[in-house]
Structure 1
């Protein structure tokens, strides 16, 4: 066993939305930690179907992957409806997705990841899980400043200081393309995990699940669908 494995904490808490990236990160965490708990955030998001998908994905992780089932612990759900109430965005209102006057996409929910991290850390503090895991990605940056590594590092420093406990954040997809994320999923769980992600995760910003494409379900036109589709095409070409 390597020194890194000996030194690694045994318990982790993953911010789990039910999307492609968080499902891949969950598999990554279960390969590395003895006990993994999950936390989801309901902020009245327009694509609330992801809250249903996350239950399905968690259930399938337990039934389809015996090597991980005993490691998967309690799921926590946090009501952040207040965030939806104060956010005038395309993820919290039925409005067109566009680039606004600030140069950011209208799908940007101000403060979302920063708030998620604070609530996750509060749960982690209580549960003794001081390692947080998230699917934030800088390489496929969609205009979200709260996905940048320097933003996340600053927030984690504040959390560690404010709770007087050294918290760490793992972001295994930070520097990967979407094609790279598909490849990681295959390495971790083979065809079975790739099939689970295709069939049961949700990424579409509009919450559409009545259209099945090669890369999964979605509207096929929003930025999230476009990114996932291009990633799948790039990944498929490399098979």
Structure 2
């Protein structure tokens, strides 16, 4: 890992398990961190207020951008309440929790804001190791987006993905190593139905999160 202690970073931040772990990771790596949250017509507006609260706990400046246009472009169960959420990934297809274009749009907005603020580093919590099959969570997408943003703005952004090759168990381990295990466990909102901490228990995000937690707790207990 390079030394970024004299540089600043903008963290794409939702207040969930992954982005909160990334925020605290960035606080250890960079001189200053800034948190950027998006509204995009998601099912639960409390996501934004919870993100604001966690950013305040972390002592990180917080900003919200409206990306609501994306909710009107492609049907999906996160922004269209009339669509029943897939609890399993359909064979040969993406789950209907996939919001087409979301991560590309978010990274473009984030880079534009970072450009205006003179920030070179962007941090996002996408992962290819343990995800719901979303194509915009893949390392190839991030590398391509990074190159495109640099060309579009004649800049040298670096997109950091500290969770890219970590499964959920390993994300919990990282949170523990960063000293924020309890914050991530008790204060974050990952649930697609807007329920804090352990969540509803049956949506795809909750099932992935809680499976990883149980695996990590078992590993930690066995290591004692």
TM-score, with structure 1 as normaliser: 0.86
Given that residues 5 and 31 in structure 2 are in contact (C-alpha distance below 8 angstroms), is that contact kept between their aligned partners in structure 1? no
Which of 3, 27, 38 pairs up with 1:41?
38
CA distance in 1, matches of 2:97, 2:6: 35
Please list every run of 5 or more consecutive structure 1 residues that lacks an aligned counterpart in the other structure: 63-71, 210-215
For 1:1-239, list aligned pairs within 5 A: 4-5=2-3, 10-62=7-59, 72=60, 74-94=61-81, 95-98=83-86, 99=89, 103-189=93-179, 193-209=180-196, 216-239=197-220
Task: Give CA deviations for 1:139-185 in whole Å, capped at 9, x if unaligned.
Answer: 00211000001011111101000100011100000000101001101
1:12 partner SS:
strand
C-alpha deviation, 1:100, in angstroms: 5.7
CA distance in 2, matches of 1:23, 1:87: 28
Q: Which residue of 2 aligns with 1:213?
A: none
CA distance in 2, matches of 1:100, 1:114: 23
Kindly report the root-mean-square deviation, in angstroms, between the aligned alpha carbons of the 2 structures.
Answer: 1.6
Runs (4+) of structure 1 moved beyond 3 Å? 99-102
CA distance in 1, matches of 2:199, 2:72: 25
Given that residues 125 and 162 in structure 2 are in contact (C-alpha distance below 8 angstroms), is that contact kept between their aligned partners in structure 1? yes
Q: Which residue of 2 aligns with 1:67?
A: none
Given that residues 198 and 210 in structure 2 are in contact (C-alpha distance below 8 angstroms), is that contact kept between their aligned partners in structure 1? no
Check 1:113–1:9 CA distance in 2 against 1; reply closer, same or farther (3 A cut): farther
CA distance in 2, matches of 1:110, 1:118: 14
Q: How many residue pairs are counted as aligned between the two chains?
A: 217
Given that residues 35 and 55 in structure 2 are in contact (C-alpha distance below 8 angstroms), is that contact kept between their aligned partners in structure 1? no
